[in-house]
Chain A
Amino acid sequence: MSTVGTLVAVGVVVVLMMVGGDRRALLIGATTDAHHQLEMACETCHAAPAFADAETAKNELNKTCRKCHEDALDDADDSHSRKRFRSPRMAAYREKVDARYCTSCHVEHRPDITRASAVTVAMDFCVACHSEGEQDIRATRPSHEGLSFDTCAGCHNYHDNRALYEDFLVRHAGQPWLKAEPVHALSAQYRAWEPPEESAIGPGAVAAPAVALADAAIVAHWAGSGHAEAGVACADCHAPDFAEGGLQGDVEAAWTDSPSVSVCRDCHRQEVRTFALGRHGMRQHPEIAVPREPGQGLATLGVDATLPETISARLSDPVPPTHMHAAEARLPMRIDAPTEPLDCGTCHDSHAVDIEHAAVAACASCHDDLHTRAYFGSPHHALWLKEQAGEAALGTGVSCATCHMVKGKRRGKVTTDHNQNDSLRPNEKMIRPVCLDCHGLAFSLDALADTDLVSRNFAGRPAVHVESIEWAVRRAEPPDAGR
């Protein structure tokens, strides 16, 4: 009986692993934040063949990590790139930490040893290579003498160290905490757009079902939106196949009340692409594994059989949700957060496309952490209200999106990076594109290093001081340099 039970249980698990079915019960540990959205699509990360040797498995995991994180690493000018550690010269260092493999420091499903930024080695890991020889930081940087290695991560980031480049620090030394004209230039440019007069464009020229056009508020919102200004009519989104010259009947037949994200992507390619890189939209990332076909799994086991539909349905992988839901978030969320899947329409009103709403209210409709709560009433919020009221210049207000959905320029146009993580982890990443428009570098470094101040959403002055600038200046201009 025990033997039969053993064989049945093992058989079920082998089928689950090799053919199809829900494998979440096989998870060996809770998945890290963000990755938990991909739990149902194991092959997104586990692409190595079954029973592959450790080297192959690590290489395959590296590849799958880079599928999603490569852009960020490239942008960060990764100071510990894999390429650098491939050199034979680095063999001695590889013995200590094999930095060629992501999994040397980031092991998934190990919540017991997972630290900030999904690091699974002790946070003083810099000691491995920077405590002796030519890389001994205490020898090459007298300023670092006496510092223990568990303090490194307080200022430095292993992959993205741009905030502490010496020439950058020296160049921004001595800046006041607040600039004379604190304006976020790209935001100012972005917000300078004037919406069209709602009455200027009538809906009569567009093809749409009478029911849809009967809602005067929707029509008015649309008419005052950028969509109307750009000539994007109802059918362009609601019946895209008949957008160009479609007859009223065709449009009505193909009409959908809830256009998919792919409709938005047609015009907002960059926004939709970056949305899929962040936590809000990562389930739409093109590299997410699709559910397995039971037939393929059987073929890998050497079974060439067509399964009856009932069995095939049972062996099919569960289809993962295509969107994130607020209920799945691991950050504190409001209990009345929207229950709908998170897509473009969650933050952007489909017809009014109110970017002011998307910049603050939409965030606060879900997020309920201390930082979000403290925003309302903070100096940044006060500036935002002033700008909204027309009492301050464009670009002086600071919304959630100002810091977390960083503006950039692409082909002469201001675009919004919808990957909210691009300016976080570490938060110094937002210094260059955001903070420095209004604040000095020293103040920005101090403010972002003060976790309590971050929780209070920067209401007050930093209680922490990062000495990086002083050290860099001393190194660039030694005290006896002028003699």
Chain B
Amino acid sequence: MLTFTEEILLLLLGEEDGAFLPVNSNAFECALAGATLMDLAFALRIDTDLESLIVLNENPTGLAMLDRILARIATHPEVMDAQSWVRLLAREEANTIREQALASLVDRGILEQRERRRVEHYPMRDGTAQREIKLHIREVVLADDIPDPRDVVRIALCDACSIFPEVLSEREIEQATPRIRQLRIMDLIGREVAGAIAAIQRTMLMAVRARLARFRRYVLALAAIGGIATLATVLAPRIPVPDRFGPTLLERLWGDGAWQEWSGYVLLALSVLGFAAASLRRMRFAAKIGDQNWWRVMHVGLGLSCVLLLFVHTGFRLGYNLNAVLMGCYLAALVSGAFAGILMGGATQLRRFGFAQAGRLTRLPMRVHVIALCTLPALLVIHLLIVYLY
């Protein structure tokens, strides 16, 4: 039988290319920690109450991944509650849990390990297990039967990682949303496993939400400022070049070729860094610097600094001919990126207003963002050629 950790990893792998689906890394890390603790609880190795998580039985389960965590809990010098353990394991053990679970799935012959463009991929060797898990979850969610406690855990994990869109159609999600909400808070598990699972589940969801909320606030704030600044670039009246001779800052910024050259290159560097922050965040080395949310905040922050540098470089002037096209595409990339950031960062608030699928709304601005970005290399090279050739 697969562990919850293995099941959640299987659900997060793309069927065709074996790459991980885009999922919030904080939620993912908390889900891995929670899943491990719930595996231990189902194996009757740990129990929880409001104030503490205690070890009932130190005997190994036979699974290296679970036994290592069990040993860590057993030898920990102080007693902590479930919430603290979820946070600690999410922070310190998530990567190891993930790698061990993947290795276990490879050993079981379900996955195979490949590397493409320095990113590890895990294509399915045998897709049966994944299909069966998806089918089972679908049946549980869409049926009216009282679910098995393990199913309740699976649903909580799927909800924590927002992977229902990979399992259910849009219409099915709409239909199943009330039941998912109900199952998530069911106390069935408490009766079966002495309340440990329920506590871990609640803790895990709380931890996920708390960590997400913090990053979402950053993303929302930065994206909102960036969006407003970008719209101001388009709509605000042009700031005239000062009509006073002298080394004024604005005169130099928009009248001195050397200054414009510098501001242009700084803008280019920030744009490249922003692109790198978005595209490298899934690389292994990037995880050592910061988790995916940290990289996302960096990406949005760099986007905001690009808006400011764009003002320094152009003074809200939209340009002429191909320069106007370049400016248009650049602004489209910034506006769509800011809009996607606002939707992503404000997902919680949007849900309160009834937009249950706020995450899906980001798809259109993200597409516009990517398309606009695709045009930039050519337009930038042309811009530089025009400047240096004439």
Q: Would you call A26 and B322 a contact (CB within 8 A)?
A: yes
A201–B255 alpha-carbon span in the complex (Å):
65
Q: Would you call B320 and A27 a contact (CB within 8 A)?
A: yes
Query: How many Å from the CB of A477 to the closest CB on chain B?
Result: 34
Does A112 touch B at the CB level, under 8 Å?
A: yes
Task: Name the CB-closest residue of B to A126.
Answer: B245
Does A479 touch B at the CB level, under 8 Å?
A: no
Q: Would you call B378 and A9 a contact (CB within 8 A)?
A: yes
Given contacts A28-B386, A46-B390, A122-B242, contact A10 B322 (CB under 8 A): no
Given contacts A25-B321, A42-B390, contact A13 B385 (CB under 8 A): yes
Binary contact track B364-390/A, C-beta < 8 Å → 1, others 0: 000000000011011101100111111
Q: Would you call B243 and A123 a contact (CB within 8 A)?
A: yes
Query: How many Å from the CB of A116 to the closest CB on chain B?
Result: 12
A399–B321 alpha-carbon span in the complex (Å):
42
Which residues in chain B, 310-324, are within 8 Å of chain A measured between CB atoms? 317, 319-323
**Dominant secondary structure of chain A at its interface with chain B:** helix
Q: Would you call A122 and B251 a contact (CB within 8 A)?
A: yes
Task: Name the CB-closest residue of A to B383.
Answer: A28
Given contacts A27-B321, A28-B321, A30-B320, contact A113 B241 (CB under 8 A): yes
Q: Would you call A122 and B377 a contact (CB within 8 A)?
A: no
A25–B374 alpha-carbon span in the complex (Å):
21
Does A120 touch B at the CB level, under 8 Å?
A: yes
Task: Name the CB-closest residue of A to B240.
Answer: A112
Query: How many Å from the CB of B14 to the closest CB on chain A?
Result: 21
A120–B242 alpha-carbon span in the complex (Å):
11
Q: Would you call B389 and A25 a contact (CB within 8 A)?
A: no
Which residues in chain B, 149-178, are within 8 Å of chain A measured between CB atoms? none
Residues in A neighbouring B374, C-beta threshold 8 A? 1-2, 5
Selected from A5, A30, A112, A125, the residue in CB contact (under 8 A) with B378 is A5
Q: Is the interface on chain A under 10, 10 to 19, 20 to 34, or 35 or more residues?
A: 35 or more
A128–B322 alpha-carbon span in the complex (Å):
35
Residues in B neighbouring A14, C-beta threshold 8 A? 385
A138–B317 alpha-carbon span in the complex (Å):
38
A109–B386 alpha-carbon span in the complex (Å):
12
Given contacts A26-B321, A42-B390, A120-B255, contact A125 B245 (CB under 8 A): yes
Most buried by A among B240, B251, B386, B390: B390
Task: Name the CB-closest residue of B to A9.
Answer: B378
Query: How many Å from the CB of A113 to the closest CB on chain B?
Result: 5
Query: How many Å from the CB of B359 to the closest CB on chain A?
Result: 26
Q: Is the interface on chain B under 10, 10 to 19, 20 to 34, or 35 or more residues?
A: 20 to 34
A33–B377 alpha-carbon span in the complex (Å):
33
**Dominant secondary structure of chain B at its interface with chain A:** helix
Does B218 touch A at the CB level, under 8 Å?
A: no
Residues in A neighbouring B245, C-beta threshold 8 A? 121-125, 127-128, 149
Query: How many Å from the CB of A30 to the closest CB on chain B?
Result: 6
Residues in A neighbouring B257, C-beta threshold 8 A? 54
Q: Would you call A28 and B255 a contact (CB within 8 A)?
A: no
Does A199 touch B at the CB level, under 8 Å?
A: no
Residues in A neighbouring B243, C-beta threshold 8 A? 122-124, 150
Given contacts A113-B241, A127-B245, contact A121 B255 (CB under 8 A): yes
Q: Would you call B322 and A25 a contact (CB within 8 A)?
A: yes
A13–B383 alpha-carbon span in the complex (Å):
10
Which residues in chain B, 31-52, are within 8 Å of chain A measured between CB atoms? none
Does B76 touch A at the CB level, under 8 Å?
A: no
Query: How many Å from the CB of A325 to the closest CB on chain B?
Result: 22
Does B254 touch A at the CB level, under 8 Å?
A: yes
Query: How many Å from the CB of A307 to the closest CB on chain B?
Result: 22
Q: Would you call B323 and A28 a contact (CB within 8 A)?
A: yes
Which residues in chain B, 230-277, are within 8 Å of chain A measured between CB atoms? 238, 240-246, 251, 254-255, 257
Binary contact track A1-28/B, C-beta < 8 Å → 1, others 0: 1100110011001100110000011111
Q: Would you call B241 and A28 a contact (CB within 8 A)?
A: no
Does A51 touch B at the CB level, under 8 Å?
A: yes
Does A50 touch B at the CB level, under 8 Å?
A: yes
Which residues in chain A, 72-115, are within 8 Å of chain B measured between CB atoms? 109, 112-113
A112–B241 alpha-carbon span in the complex (Å):
8
Does A246 touch B at the CB level, under 8 Å?
A: no
Which residues in chain B, 335-378, are within 8 Å of chain A measured between CB atoms? 374-375, 377-378
Query: How many Å from the CB of A169 to the closest CB on chain B?
Result: 27
Residues in A neighbouring B385, C-beta threshold 8 A? 10, 13-14, 17
Given contacts A26-B386, A120-B255, A124-B244, contact A112 B238 (CB under 8 A): yes
Does A29 touch B at the CB level, under 8 Å?
A: yes
A6–B383 alpha-carbon span in the complex (Å):
13
Q: Would you call A17 and B389 a contact (CB within 8 A)?
A: yes
Query: How many Å from the CB of B28 to the closest CB on chain A?
Result: 29
Given contacts A2-B377, A121-B255, contact A9 B246 (CB under 8 A): no
Task: Name the CB-closest residue of A to B243.
Answer: A122
Given contacts A50-B389, A124-B245, A149-B245, contact A9 B382 (CB under 8 A): yes
Residues in B neighbouring A120, C-beta threshold 8 A? 255
A50–B246 alpha-carbon span in the complex (Å):
32
Residues in A neighbouring B251, C-beta threshold 8 A? 122
Task: Name the CB-closest residue of B to A109.
Answer: B320
A126–B244 alpha-carbon span in the complex (Å):
11
Residues in B neighbouring A2, C-beta threshold 8 A? 374, 377
A411–B251 alpha-carbon span in the complex (Å):
50
Query: How many Å from the CB of A122 to the closest CB on chain B?
Result: 4
Q: Would you call A113 and B319 a contact (CB within 8 A)?
A: no
Query: How many Å from the CB of B272 to the closest CB on chain A?
Result: 14
Residues in A neighbouring B379, C-beta threshold 8 A? 9
28 inter-chain pairs at a CB distance below 8 angstroms, sorted by A residue, are: A2-B377, A6-B378, A6-B381, A9-B379, A9-B382, A10-B378, A10-B381, A10-B382, A14-B385, A17-B386, A18-B389, A24-B321, A25-B321, A26-B386, A28-B319, A28-B320, A28-B321, A28-B386, A28-B387, A46-B390, A50-B388, A112-B240, A112-B241, A112-B254, A120-B255, A122-B243, A124-B243, A128-B246
Q: A42-B390, A113-B241, A123-B245 are in contact. List 18 more A-B contacts (CB 8 A).
A: A2-B377, A6-B378, A6-B381, A9-B378, A17-B385, A17-B389, A26-B321, A28-B319, A28-B386, A29-B323, A50-B389, A54-B257, A112-B254, A113-B254, A123-B243, A125-B245, A127-B246, A128-B245
**Which 5 interchain pairs have the tightest Cβ spacing?**
A9-B378, A2-B374, A122-B245, A6-B378, A125-B245
